[in-house]
Amino acid sequence: MKLTRKLVLAKAKASDLESVKKLNCWGCNLTDISIFSQMPSIEVLTLSVNNISSLSPLAGCPSLSELYLRRNMIPTLSELCHLRPLTRLRVLWLAENPCCGTDPSRYRLTVLRCLPRLQKLDNQVVTEEEIALALMEGDEVSTPTGNIHNQLPNNGLPDAEMENDPLNYNMEETNKIREELGMKPLSRDKFSSLSSPSTMEKPTMKKTHILDAVLLLLRDLDEEELHVVHTATQNRLQTYTLDSGDAPISGF
């Protein structure tokens, strides 16, 4: 069943789609929710107990803060990529979907790695420790075809030249991290202006580029996001400390 403008307005008791901020469509046998691409003001959305398989229309709902999707037909966690641009999303209920799999712990870490701004997942509060662990151990959700790489211009450079271009490699690393945090990708021009000359001259070693990407990313993070990065960094440093503490002491 397709969710229509008439049904939305009737349920929300509204006169136009743009004014709808809350909507409850629990158990309506919905399969098509494309109408949400026309509802940028929606904040709280209940779509539990339906037959929804694609979340792509929700990418056009920047004000969405609570989303209830329990017991639908979401096939894979890659659908969560459509929710990454929703920087205000804090509550998500996704349980009892095919994408949840059979390993609850792995599922939760993967969702939180993809959507690290969540404060509650499946009616359970998300902790800072969980987010830090998810960023390190959660599975990376595959990006749907035609996303970041198709959005970034080549500036007229041939594909082979772009592939070997150190700036392009660095930019891809930065945008990969930005995407995981639900942030918009940087254009090549903006990235070039942010990059220092020393960054451009460094050898194309993967760890070097990842470090450059992280340092560039830090400039755009707010206080809450920086706190998450700080916690994850502390946990990572503790791991190295433990490893070095177990190593045999030499030189004495």
Domain residue limits, the chain: 5-98
CB 60 within 8 A of CB 37: yes
CB 43 within 8 A of CB 65: yes
Query: What pLDDT score was predicted for residue 174?
Result: 62
Cα distance between residue 53 and residue 57, in whole Å: 11
Most confident of 148-162, 202-216, 226-240: 226-240
Query: What pLDDT score was predicted for residue 230?
Result: 82
Instruction: List the structure tokens of 28.
Output: 């309506």
Query: What pLDDT score was predicted for residue 147?
Result: 43
CB 1 within 8 A of CB 8: no
Query: What pLDDT score was predicted for residue 156?
Result: 38
Averaged pLDDT of the chain: 79
Q: Is 50 exposed, middle or buried (0-12, 13-18, 19+ CB in 10 A)?
A: buried
Lowest mean pLDDT among 60-69, 75-84, 242-251: 242-251
Categorize the per-residue pLDDT at 55 as very low, low, confident or very high, splitting at 50, 70 and 90. very high
**Hey, what CATH topology would domain 5-98 get?**
3.80.10
Q: In 3D, which of 13, 47, 52 has the Cα closest to residue 32?
A: 52
**Single-letter residue type at 62:** P
